[in-house]
Amino acid sequence: MFLLSKIFWLVAQPLSLAFFAALAGLLMTAAGLRRSGSAFGLIGALVLFVSLFTTSGSYFLQMLEDRFPRPAAAPATLSCVIVLGGALENEVMASRGGIEFNQAADRFIETAMLAKRYPQTRILVSGGDGSFSGAYDGDAKASEAFFAAFGIGPERLIREEQSRTTFENARNTQALLAANGLSNCALVTSAFHMPRSVGLFRKLGLEVTPWPTDYRTSGTVTLGLDFTQPSLNAQLTTTAMREWIGLAAYSFGSRTDSLLPSVSPPNASPR
């Protein structure tokens, strides 16, 4: 399933869709199917235009980022902080050494800040090697040096090193929380990734305090044209499309209870 999802996403992301639609259009035109070829060419051009020159990616990513705000007041206590991997450039680190982060670095920075604020709290890092090859250290293993640099000792860390998907993050974390007798946990991940993560944790019976970070949008985006930053627009569209597809897939596969989980748990009593 993991490999199938990787292959599917290689084809389904917007720039790939535009390429394959254009290629199909050329082949159909060459085969004499001009109307079909023109239709596919137009589809490819439309996908490319929306990805590069509109705010649609930012807008739909913003919808996810706004779903779960941070707590209005910091909790009095936390027994653990769960941080989901995906922030370390493990392939680069394998060849160059050191600690190299990608755009999701805020996940670990925010976790380090929480670890300082709550000095008795355990830190559960969930993240294995999500590459095709499986030849690199995952975030859980590689992050130990990062936390040590900030005075957070290995005795506070719980490393979940096997997960490659968000579903595996939640399932494997559930087992580790039970084994260590931990509850009352904050969940740290990118804001756009929080709805899918919370939905998976809830389905497994785990209520967590969402602690979103790594925001990619301003919070004031409206739908419209934007010719100023095509490469960034394409990146945000790709991220938004991947997350919405993930939400739909997990909902369809009954791994979450709804397409877009609500802020309050389904069984929460009204105030």
pLDDT band at 267 (very low <50, low <70, confident <90, very high): low
pLDDT of 178 higher than 80: yes
* 70 close to 57: Cβ distance less than 8 angstroms: no
pTM of this structure: 0.92
Q: Are 176 and 160 in contact (CB under 8 A)?
A: yes
Q: Are 101 and 135 in contact (CB under 8 A)?
A: no
Give the pLDDT confidence score for residue 5 in this predicted structure.
Answer: 83
**Unique residue bearing structure tokens 């979450």:** 256
Question: What percent of the chain lies above the pLDDT cut of 70?
Answer: 96
Assign residue 214 a region (left: φ > 0; alpha: ψ between -120 and 50; beta: otherwise). left
Per-residue confidence band for 2, with pLDDT thresholds at 50, 70 and 90: confident
- The string of pLDDT tens digits covering residues 56-103 is 999 999 999 999 999 999 999 999 999 999 999 988 998 998 999 999
Q: At what angle do helices 14-30 and 34-53 cross, to 10 degrees?
A: 160
Least confident of 30-44, 98-112, 242-256, 257-271: 257-271
pLDDT score of 42 more than 60: yes
And the tokens for 7?
A: 């292959």
Q: Which of 220, 189, 241 lies closest to 13 in space, CA to CA?
A: 241
**Closest alpha carbon to 143 in 131, 121, 127:** 127
Q: Which residue has the higher pLDDT, 146 or 136?
A: 146
Residue type, 200: L
Q: Exposed, middle or buried, 135 (CB in 10 Å: 0-12/13-18/19+)?
A: exposed
Strand pairing report for 122-126 and 185-190: unpaired
* Contact status, residue 103 vs residue 62, Cβ threshold 8 Å: no
The HSE-up count of residue 75 (CA atoms within 13 Å, CB side) is: 17
Q: How confident is the model at residue 269 (pLDDT cuts 50, 70, 90)?
A: very low
Task: Using alpha carbons only, give the angle 193, 189, 179 rounded to the nearest 5 degrees.
Answer: 115
Q: What is the pLDDT of residue 138?
A: 87
Chain segment 212-233, per-residue pLDDT in tens: 999 999 999 999 999 999 999 9
Beta-carbon contacts of 194 under 8 Å, excluding residues fewer than 6 positions away, are 64, 65, 67, 68, 187, 210, 212
Q: Give me the pLDDT at residue 268, please.
A: 55
